[in-house]
A and B are shown apart, each in its own frame.
Chain A
Amino acid sequence: MDLESLYQEIILDHYKHPRGRGLREPFAVEVHHVNPTCGDELTVRVTLDGDVVTDISYDGQGCSISQASASMLHEQLVGGTVAHGLATTDAFLALMQGRGQVEPDEDVLGDAVAFAGVAKYPARVKCALLGWMAWKDAVSQAVASETPEVAP
């Protein structure tokens, strides 16, 4: 009965038909993240053009939640600004860590609100976050490497 709230139709759709899956060139930064409790892994590449995220490509293996989450992240963030991507990530993180008590903001999260049900299953939160934490890591590195060194 709760199973449908966890596995929303749109999540299963992203799982079975992942958007933007596969690693592509060129890219600014590549990261590899694992979930040590279950062995799920994800490689994420981020490509920027100035302030715009021009591509997030990814590949890995994992459960429906982790893979669908990466697919949705690709769909939500590519084409937007880095600031938009990070703000969306913060909102997603807050939702996931809210134990089901945080009201999701669809204006910020878009289709990713479908993951609201995951927050009620603490063991699956890390699955949903795998791609988002990897992207956040990659984009932070990319932004840092593009920031010109300021002479002291």
Chain B
Amino acid sequence: MGFTTVFGSLSRYEKGTMEIINDNPKYYVFSNVFEVAAKARPYEKVAVAKNLEYVIEAIRAEGVSPWMACSHDEFAVVMDGEVEVEYVKLDNPESVAPPGKEGTVQVQGEPKGKRMGSVRLKRGHQTLLPKGAAYRFRASKPSVMIQQTIVGPLTVQKWGEICYH
């Protein structure tokens, strides 16, 4: 008999369960990225996991995002749908994302620099969002990504709305 691998999607996901024996369910900070993205605004960066300064954000990709940049590497994995990423090598990256400032920042206006190219991602594909580059996402229909980064000014924390408690 063959196996069927079950991935989730915006239109089809089933959230797991918790059976508490002697604990506080809040300690497990249990959410689901598809449920979070289903209720999010396009490109809202909703934290679904946080380990001190580090964070994983669930992102609903839909339409075109603002240009963003970061002082350190970030990574995105597409969990559902298709997302195109465009990259620009910034002429002055430190003026956009200073070295001491962590997390994603929004680029004001159009990024100044050379066009690096683009990457088209489908479900399960991971891309590098390299330090020193500006990037923006484009999705023709609602899609879902997770992004590995550090808590920044664009990170939205609304744990009480997204987690079991």
Q: Do A and B come from one complex?
A: no
Chain B residues engaging chain A, CB cutoff 8 angstroms: none
